[in-house]
Amino acid sequence: MEGGAGDSVADYLAQNPDLARWVETLRTYCESNKQWLARREFLLRNMENMEAFPTLEPGRPSRSLDRLLSLSTVWANHVFLGCSYPPAVMEKIQEMGEGIVVEDPPVRRSTKEQSRGRRSESDADGCGKRSKCGTNDLDSRGAAWPVSQKAGPAPHAPAEHQPFFNRLYKAVAWKLVSAGGFGPNQDHFEILQSCVESCKETVTCVFVPLKDIAGLPAAQTQKEGHVCEVRCQSVYMGTGYGRDEAAAKAMASKEALKVFQGRKVTVKICRRRYKGKDVEDLMLFDEQPRGQVFPPALSYPFDEQQLDAASS
C-alpha cells in the first residue's frame, strides 16, 4: 500500500472492504486506538512485500503472516513501550516502519530519571500504593503484595491476571490455527513461548529431579527423570515428566496448551500441596469439569516467609 497515515489508510480500506474486515481481526485485546491504528498501517504497508512475505494472503494463516504479525508487534513495542531488540531486528523494523507518523509518541525518561521518579513515588505514597499495583507491577517473584498479608495470592489477584490470559488465549488460538490445530508432534514449548512473548511476558520453567519429590511410592523414587512446572505471571499452567529437562519441559508445555482448547481460560485461586504444606496458588483453568486433585507445586512465587501462616 502506498501513501501516508490517517485519511490515506481510511480511503484505502474503504475501497477494500473485505481487507478492512479481515485486518480488524488482527487487533489484539490490549491495544489502544492509537497503537492499533499505527500497527495497522505497519501491516498494510508491508503485507504486499512479496519478497519478504511470499506466502502472505489476507484471510489465510501462513508463516509469512505470523512473521509480519511478530514484526509489527516488535515495532509497536519499540515505538510505544520503548522496548529494544538486537541491532538487526531494530534495523529491520525501522526500515519497515519508515514513513509512518505517530502523533504524540510517548516521551521516555532516561533510566536514572525513571529510578529517581520511582523512588520519589515510593517515598510519597508509602506501602499503601503497593497493595493497588496491577499486573504490570509484578516482579520476578510474583505480585508485590504487602508483607503483612499471609502467604499466597491476594483475593483480587485472579481478576488482575485475567486480562493478560484473555490476550494470551487469543494469541494461542491464532497460533494453533496457523499450525493446523493442536497436535502431538508439535514443538509445544515453542508455541507457548512465542505466544507468551507476543503478549510481552515470559514463560517460567522450574525443574526438579523425580527422585527429589516427596510423597512418591518408594519404587518410583528410584526412577531417573525430571518434572517440570510451567508458569506465567506467577500463574500455574502445567506440569510434565520426562527423561531429561527438555522432555519434561515439552510435556509440561503440552499440558499447558491443552487448557487453551476450550472457549475461554480462567484464573482461579486453589489449594494445593507445596513442600508438604497446603497453600493457596494461582492456577489457569479451562471450562472442563475436573477433580480438585492437582500435582504438587514445584515452586511457590509468593511470600515463602509467611508460608507457615498459610498452611493448615
What is the residue extent of each domain of the chain?
A: 7-96, 148-310
pTM over 0.75: no
Mean pLDDT of 92-113: 72
- In CATH, what number does 148-310 get? 3.30.160.20
Q: What is the pLDDT of residues 195-208, one digit of tens each?
A: 999 999 999 999 88
Q: What is the pLDDT of residues 4-61, one digit of tens each?
A: 445 677 777 788 888 888 888 888 766 788 888 899 899 888 887 877 788 888 878 8
Mean pLDDT of 97-120: 61
Question: Three-state SS for 278?
Answer: strand
Q: What is the pLDDT of residues 60-83, one digit of tens each?
A: 888 888 888 888 888 988 888 777
Q: What is the pLDDT of residues 224-258, one digit of tens each?
A: 788 999 999 999 999 998 889 999 999 999 999 99
For the chain, the maximum distance between any two Cα atoms, rounded to a whole number of angstroms, is: 71
Task: Give the pLDDT of residue 216.
Answer: 56
Residue 110's pLDDT band (cuts 50, 70, 90): very low
Under a CB-based contact definition with an 8 Å cutoff, are residues 164 and 201 in contact? yes
What percent of the chain clears pLDDT 70, i.e. is strictly above it? 74
Task: Give the pLDDT of residue 290.
Answer: 63
Which carries the bigger pLDDT value, residue 181 or residue 214? 181
Residue 114's pLDDT band (cuts 50, 70, 90): very low
For residue 162, pLDDT over 90 is answered with yes
Name residues whose C-beta falls within 8 Å of residue 257's C-beta, 6 or more positions apart in sequence.
172, 176, 182, 188, 191, 192, 238
Q: What is the pLDDT of residues 36-48, one digit of tens each?
A: 889 989 988 888 7
Name residues whose C-beta falls within 8 Å of residue 64's C-beta, 6 or more positions apart in sequence.
52, 53, 54, 55, 56
Name residues whose C-beta falls within 8 Å of residue 33's C-beta, 6 or more positions apart in sequence.
none
> In the predicted model, what is the mean pLDDT of the chain?
76
For residue 115, pLDDT over 60 is answered with no
What percent of the chain clears pLDDT 90, i.e. is strictly above it? 24
